[in-house]
Amino acid sequence: MQNIVILISGGGSNMAAIARTAQQQDWAGRHGIRVVAVISNQADAKGLGLARAQGIATEVLDHKGFASREAFDAELARVIDHHEPSLVVLAGFMRILTPGFVAHYAGRLVNIHPSLLPAFTGLHTHQRAIDAGCKFAGCTVHLVTAELDVGPILDQAVVPVLAGDTADSLAARVLTQEHLIYPRAVLAQLLRIA
């Protein structure tokens, strides 16, 4: 069995999309793949309730209780490793991870970013795409490396930037695509490393 652990900080819509797709497509029966845990650094993350409703184990590890990023990441890795993950999925986990943490999960740590990488790494991607006059925006699933948003690309989806778009309207259309490509990329990566 290949286990997926998903890390969230907020609403968990991408986590829910992955869990729902795994259930609908019977990843457990067909591929021996299951989402076993959702971990958040925020006790009030809405996504924790969504995970519990789908019967997925949840845990909270508050980063504010640790003296350093390194101490938090070391404990986070211990909590994750308890679930014996084949893949660790960042789904709106709003923490910059230490190089040691990233190295521990090398090749097994994926993220989704709301731009067509390598364009617009970091924050405020939708507004930056609009400001730059881009005709297209989108999202990218990539392997996580120590350098922010530059790991090998696993999947992408393109969304047109429409006249009159705001950052919010563009973000909403991009999110729809995130919910389609993230489950697909997660499954493909697990089948590759099986």
- The catalytic residue positions are 113
Contact partners, residue 81, CB within 8 Å, separation at least 6: none
Amino acid residing at 36: V
Collapse the DSSP code of 9 into the 3-class scheme (helix H, G, I; strand E, B; otherwise coil) and give the result: coil
For residues 4 and 176, give the distance between their C-alpha atoms in angstroms, rounded to a whole number: 22
Please calculate the CA angle 102-108-113 and round it to the nearest 5 degrees. 75
- Least Cα distance to 88 among 105, 103, 76 occurs for 105
